[in-house]
Amino acid sequence: MREEILFEITSLSREPMRVKAFKFGKKDATPSCVIVGPMTGDAIDQLWIASRMVRFLRQKELENPSFILGEIVVVPTANTYSFNMGKSFWPLDNTDIDVMFPGYEKGETTQRIAARLFEKTNNFDFAILLEARKDHAECKPYVSLLANGAEDVDDARAFGLDFIHIKDESPIDTVSINYNWKIWNAKSFSIISGKKGELRKNDANKVFDAIVRFLSKHKIIDFPIFEGSIGNVVTYDNIEIIKSSAAGLFDTLVHVGDRVVHGQPLARIYNTLDGTLMQTIIAPFEGIISCAYDYPLIFQNAIAFRIIRLEDTQLP
């Protein structure tokens, strides 16, 4: 393993922010894969996954140097400053680094971070981004492919996660690292999981296993694995949004990943002052809870659940 500081950003009063990479295998060996951890300082699961991956690869490479068949680079995070102060976005101006790609070396601070990170990560065969959802939702781990990378769905199945979401591109996606990796010809994937600000080890470990499986199936490492899921492809058309009609205290009755049936109570919403039951949210059909609202107070018309319709998913 080679540990390297990819770049630094200096500060008035703090230690410089060092963006580190951990490199495995021979430089420029193929196939190559870069794994980039979170750019938001509240994606704890993703930091756990990235650091566990460094530890795993280091230990296995020490045991057997030929374990690494290609080249792997892990960048656990590009935003240590925000992790250290419990913030999500860049501490000074609250900008999101992942809307700054491909970056601009002469631009604002987060544009420069993006430019430097992109320069160091844009020439790999495979590129994996670890992300938490940016809205208030906890979700079942899934692979997210932008529509410009939809042809990579077979490669995405190597993760063995249950769902692969092909996401329609919006203007904001064109400035994400994932989109720009793809433009520069990497096969790029986002893995989205967990809940912001918390460590959910069960789901985090599933993602960890999925990445090991992916590396093994693409012959980047030599390591035995268990087969995963076949990878159901879903789009917005398969995902039904269940909204709250009341506001108040949100009492969830189901878990993310649960299979629910038509008519099953999913959550209750109570008046926050007098305790009156305001709404019982009912499953309108059979499916899998892919995402659930993650905060105990809920607005009216908030997205309480996303359910993947059972009959609609595409099998290979």
Partner 1 sequence: MIEEFFNVKLPVDEHLILKRNRFLTPLQELNGKRISIITGIHGDEIEGQYVCYLLAKWLNENPDKIKGIIDIYPSMNPMGIDSITRGFPFYNVDINRTFPGKTSEFLPGQVANAIVEAIKGSDYAIDIHSSNIFLRELPQVRISKSNAKELVPLAQKMGIDFIWVHDAVTVLESTFSHTMNTLGTKTLVVEMGVGMRITKEYGENLTEGILNLMAQLDIIDRPLSLSKPSFVSTINAEVHFINSPCSGVFIPTLEHNVTVAQGEKLGDIIDPLLGEIKATLLSPCDGLLFTIREYPVVYEGSLIARILEDTKEEKA
Q: Is 247 in the site for partner 1 (CB under 8 A)?
A: yes
**Binding to partner 1 (CB under 8 A): which residues in 254-283?**
272-273
How far apart are alpha carbons 314 and 316 in whole angstroms?
Answer: 6
Q: Is 175 in the site for partner 1 (CB under 8 A)?
A: yes
Q: Is 85 in the site for partner 1 (CB under 8 A)?
A: no
Burial bucket for residue 95 (CB in 10 Å: 0-12, 13-18, 19+): middle
Are the C-beta atoms of 77 and 83 separated by less than 8 Å?
yes
**Residue span binding partner 1 (CB under 8 A) among the ranges 50-58, 63-71, 117-125, 133-141:** 133-141
Q: Which of 97, 246, 283, 289 binds partner 1 (CB under 8 A)?
A: 246
Q: How many CA atoms lie within 13 A of 237 on its CB side?
A: 6
Are the C-beta atoms of 212 and 205 separated by less than 8 Å?
no
Q: Is 10 in the site for partner 1 (CB under 8 A)?
A: yes
Q: Is 303 in the site for partner 1 (CB under 8 A)?
A: yes
How far apart are alpha carbons 33 and 74 in whole angstroms?
Answer: 9
The nearest distance, CB 9 to partner 1, in angstroms, is 6
What is the DSSP code string of 223-275? ---------EEE-GGGEEEEE-SS-EEEEE-S-TT-EE-TT-EEEEEE-TTT-
Site size for partner 1 (CB under 8 A): 40
Q: Which of 302, 305, 307, 308 binds partner 1 (CB under 8 A)?
A: 302
Q: Is 301 in the site for partner 1 (CB under 8 A)?
A: yes
Closest to partner 1 by CB, 92 vs 277, is 92
Closest to partner 1 by CB, 274 vs 311, is 274
Are the C-beta atoms of 25 and 70 separated by less than 8 Å?
yes
Q: Is 12 in the site for partner 1 (CB under 8 A)?
A: yes
How far apart are alpha carbons 203 and 182 in whole angstroms?
Answer: 26
Q: Is 88 in the site for partner 1 (CB under 8 A)?
A: yes
**Residue span binding partner 1 (CB under 8 A) among the ranges 23-31, 121-129, 146-154, 241-249:** 241-249
Three-state SS at 179: helix
Which spans of this chain sit near partner 1 (rule: CB under 8 A)? 9-12, 88-89, 92-94, 99, 106-112, 134-136, 170-172, 174-175, 241, 243, 246-249, 272-273, 297-303
